Amino acid sequence: MPRFTVHVRDEWLTVPCKDATCSIKWLGFEALKRYIKNKPDNGGIQHIKDVRFVVRRCQGLGLLDSDDTIEDVLEDNEFVELAIEGDTMSQDFIPSQPGTSHLTRAYREPEQYISLDGNSLTSTDLVNLGKGLYKIKLTPEAEQKVVQSRELLDTIVKENKVVYGITTGFGKFARTVIPVSKLKELQENLLRSHSSGLGSPLNPERTRMLLALRINVLAKGYSGVSLETLHRMIQAFNASCLSYVPEKGTVGASGDLAPLSHLALGLMGEGKMWSPKSGWADAKYVLEAHGLKPISLKPKEGLALINGTQMITSLGAEAVERAEAIARQADIIAALTLEVLKGTTKAFDSDIHELRPHPGQKEVALRFRSLLDSDHHPSEIAESHRFCDRVQDAYTMRCCPQVHGVVNDTIEFVKKIINTEINSATDNPMVFAERGETISGGNFHGEYPAKALDYLAIGVHELASISERRIERLCNPALSELPAFLVNEGGLNSGFMIAHCTAAALVSENKVLCHPSSIDSLSTSAATEDHVSMGGWAARKALRVVEHVEQVLAIELLAACQGIEFLRPLRTTTPLEKVYDLVRATVKPWIKDRFMAPEIEAVHRLLVDQKVWNIAGPYIEKYCMEYIPESRPSSPTAFALDPPPSPRKRVRLE
């Protein structure tokens, strides 16, 4: 018999349906009957037949025709909202927002798995898990370590030993011994009281990353969580049942307590959850609709679920992956701008950069050489000014290897820290099954990823800073030899005048966001946690800085392509022409002023999806292989496209 979960004002109601040929109108009235039955004043409804309402799906808020039959328009266990005429939407109802997330836009249940062992997950893997590209399973070795760790904790409880967080309270209450009969309540109270975050919820992608990373840490076998609980977490992940996790509230030591508590609270069947099937609803109904059981906490398990740096690290993984993607595309965009401004390639001569052999600087110079005028890729634009009297270019063009280069080296440094943190045990106390003891320590402190992400923000910001100056050169006729603001009939048309202002505004915001949060610390928990990392804010603002960098470079790419229009019929090099064609497939040239914001966003999406790199990257790789093999980097993927998934860690669903 099909069932439906109906949201009426402040309540979620399960409505069974014996006859699926009943109408949507019948379903609405049946839900109303159940609603007023539990209200002493009938919920203010005097005559149920006089109530006027509409019914809509929770996911997407699509209206349902009251005369349609249930079997024609709804699936079993679907979630619907009943909106009574005259009511405002309940504050308790959190609608999904189509278009804001990869998962909300087009979620397809994955068929492949990543096997987690707590030791080999990468930031790239984690971002792909966030996008919903893989499910999760544990390796047999990880399962065995989890079981052994739990057995030790069960022994501790049976022997009535006093151990922090297992048979005692937390923080300032560490000396308060809790009776065995209250240990389950202790863990549940921990999650409820610590679920005190505020702000907008993490989107589905980021919540999936957070949940996947916490599972990976627990899979190491040093937290004492039971295999049953870990399996239920994995089942929730694989069904994409995602808790409501506010983005604000962590100080980054003793771990990301507030966000991880919200994450665990939903798994416990309390609070809110989201799934592609339900949209937002009460967690217990979302789990039930997917045939899942809430986790039932054993001693120490509440603490095991919330102690760690997974909020900082999961957001940091996204930040560093996006930073890496935009950094290599920034080289391509800058090369196109240099062509439009009729710059010289001499500043990228390999001999210059061998005299200052920073890896990032050499890499960027090599990319410029592979994209700009050469015997490999001749440029008609470059040929047109070969005998001009210009000796050297402005720093924003000439010094790209030095400025972009240190950004690459910064990203590499931060990525190593993030990948180490991804596979680190950050719980407290640690459970060492092989030693037969638990040890309290400080691995939950977020200083490592916090400092690294502050550094990332400072480093990657420079890509936007130098890009904005190149946009100025493109728009300023005194510097570009092109029409003012890259448009004909200036005055009647403003062209890129305010697009440049937008870039300047974003760069200015970044200057404030680059102030490091990890230099701050406020004592918490009655001075028990008297030094904290503030890593949650470091991660969130690093992500915002990266996004601003992407947007500024999107404006530069649009401006450079517009500059090309004024140099036609001359053509640039083959790879840069391919980039131009990619942009023009999305955005037409500016003949006169038009609504610009959506087109900036469209090009921003090209950069986020790495399409500019996918177009130009193979030419860079080919140049490196065929013309200067001695310059190939030691890393085989430094110039290549993203490598395919490792067959060692991916197992196709049978």
DSSP characters over 492-509: TB-TTHHHHHHHHHHHHH
Cα separation of 442 and 76, whole Å?
A: 48
| Average pLDDT of span 32-49 | 83
- Angle between the N-to-C axes of helices 257-267 and 310-340, in degrees from 0 to 180, rounded to the nearest 10: 110
pLDDT in tens, 466-506: 999 999 999 999 999 999 999 999 999 999 999 999 999 99
Residue 234 region, left (φ>0) first, then alpha (ψ -120 to 50), else beta?
alpha
Q: What angle do CA 401, 405, 407 make, to 5 degrees?
A: 140
Q: Is the pLDDT of residue 517 over 50?
A: yes
In a domain, 133, yes or no: yes
Cross-strand pairs, 6: 13, 80
In a domain, 247, yes or no: yes
Q: Which of 164, 222, 455, 623 is catalytic?
A: 164
Q: Are residues 285 and 174 in the same domain?
A: yes
Domain boundary at 286, 307, 328, which?
Answer: 307
Percentage of the chain beyond pLDDT 90 is 72
Residue 60 pLDDT: 67
Residue 165 pLDDT: 77
Residue 627 pLDDT: 65
Q: Is the pLDDT of residue 518 over 90?
A: yes
Residue 83 in 3-state DSSP? strand
Q: Is the pLDDT of residue 105 over 50?
A: no
> Could you tell me which of 378, 374, 320, 332 has the C-alpha nearest to residue 350?
374
Q: Are 321 and 127 in contact (CB under 8 A)?
A: yes
DSSP characters over 10-38: TEEEEEE-S-TTSBHHHHHHHHHHHHHHT
Q: Are residues 89 and 140 in the same domain?
A: no
Q: Are residues 493 and 521 in the same domain?
A: yes
Q: Are residues 530 and 622 in the same domain?
A: yes
Residue 387 pLDDT: 84
Residue 106 pLDDT: 53
> Which of 1-5, 408-412, 441-445 shows the lowest per-residue confidence on average (mean pLDDT)?
1-5
- The whole-angstrom distance between residue 60's C-alpha and the CA centroid of its chain comes to 22
Residue 266 pLDDT: 97
Q: Are residues 235 and 347 in the same domain?
A: no
Question: Mean of the per-residue pLDDT values for the chain?
Answer: 90
Residue 101 pLDDT: 41
Which residues, at least 6 apart from 587, have a Cβ–Cβ distance to it below 8 Å? 558, 561, 599, 602, 603
State how far the alpha carbon of 353 is from the alpha carbons of 275, 359, 401, in Å: 51, 10, 9
In a domain, 585, yes or no: yes
Residue 220 pLDDT: 97
Q: Are residues 295 and 273 in the same domain?
A: yes
Cross-strand pairs, 280: 274
**Residue 330: how many other CB atoms lie within 10 Å:** 31
Residue 654: pLDDT band (50, 70, 90) is very low
Residue 426 pLDDT: 94
DSSP characters over 149-187: HHHHHHHHHHTT---TTTTB-SGGGTT-B--GGGHHHHH
Q: Are 428 and 444 in contact (CB under 8 A)?
A: yes
Domain boundary at 281, 307, 333, which?
Answer: 307
Which amino acid is present at 48? I
Tokens 């966001």 correspond to 513
Phi, psi of 298 (to 5 degrees): -100, 170
Q: Is the pLDDT of residue 326 over 60?
A: yes
Residue 96 pLDDT: 40
* Structure-block tokens of residue 410: 């910064």
Q: Are residues 522 and 613 in the same domain?
A: yes
Residue 104 pLDDT: 43
What does the DSSP 8-state code read for residue 69? B
Residue 107 pLDDT: 66
Which amino acid is present at 353? H
Residue 167 pLDDT: 83
Q: Are residues 270 and 405 in the same domain?
A: no
State how far the alpha carbon of 385 is from the alpha carbons of 345, 480, 570, 644, in Å: 12, 13, 11, 42
In a domain, 654, yes or no: no
In a domain, 24, yes or no: yes
**437, 440, 441, 445 alpha-carbon torsion, rounded to 10°:** 130
Q: Is the pLDDT of residue 397 over 90?
A: yes
Q: Are residues 148 and 180 in the same domain?
A: yes
DSSP characters over 282-302: EHHHHHHHTT-PPP-PPTTHH
> Could you tell me which of 310, 117, 109, 79 has the C-alpha nearest to residue 214?
310
pLDDT in tens, 222-255: 999 999 999 999 999 999 999 999 999 999 988 8
* Structure-block tokens of residue 440: 């309290």
In a domain, 403, yes or no: yes
pLDDT in tens, 261-320: 999 999 999 999 999 877 788 899 899 889 999 999 999 999 999 999 999 999 999 999
* 112 or 87: which leads in pLDDT: 112
| Average pLDDT of span 57-84 | 85
Q: Is the pLDDT of residue 632 over 50?
A: no
Residue 109: pLDDT band (50, 70, 90) is confident
| Average pLDDT of span 567-571 | 97
Cα separation of 418 and 207, whole Å?
A: 18
Q: Is the pLDDT of residue 643 over 90?
A: no
Q: Are residues 403 and 501 in the same domain?
A: yes
Residue 639 pLDDT: 45
Q: What is the CATH number for 209?
A: 1.10.275.10
Domain boundary at 93, 123, 150, which?
Answer: 93
Tokens 């997917």 correspond to 290
Q: What is the CATH number for 51?
A: 3.10.20.90
Q: What is the CATH number for 535?
A: 1.20.200.10
Which amino acid is present at 602? A
- The whole-angstrom distance between residue 254's C-alpha and the CA centroid of its chain comes to 23
Question: Which helix (H) or strand (E) is 112 found in, with range?
Answer: strand 112-116
Structural domain count, the chain = 3
Classify burial at 174, counting beta carbons within 10 Å of its beta carbon; exposed 0-12, middle 13-18, buried 19 or more: middle
* Structure-block tokens of residue 467: 């890009």
pLDDT in tens, 143-177: 999 999 999 999 988 888 888 878 888 777 878 88
In a domain, 635, yes or no: no
State how far the alpha carbon of 593 is from the alpha carbons of 194, 475, 488, 490, in Å: 53, 15, 10, 10
Residue 458: pLDDT band (50, 70, 90) is very high
Question: Which helix (H) or strand (E) is 411 found in, with range?
Answer: helix 400-422
Cα separation of 388 and 372, whole Å?
A: 18
- Structural domain that includes position 485: 315-626
What does the DSSP 8-state code read for residue 376? S
* 59 or 295: which leads in pLDDT: 295
In a domain, 131, yes or no: yes
Q: Are residues 325 and 298 in the same domain?
A: no
> Could you tell me which of 286, 370, 371 has the C-alpha nearest to residue 628?
370
Q: What pTM was estimated for this model as a whole? A: 0.85
448 in catalytic set: no
Residue 628 pLDDT: 61
Residue 220 in 3-state DSSP? coil
Residue 88 pLDDT: 56
Residue 12: pLDDT band (50, 70, 90) is confident
Q: Are 413 and 207 in contact (CB under 8 A)?
A: no
Q: Are residues 275 and 126 in the same domain?
A: yes
Percentage of the chain beyond pLDDT 70 is 92
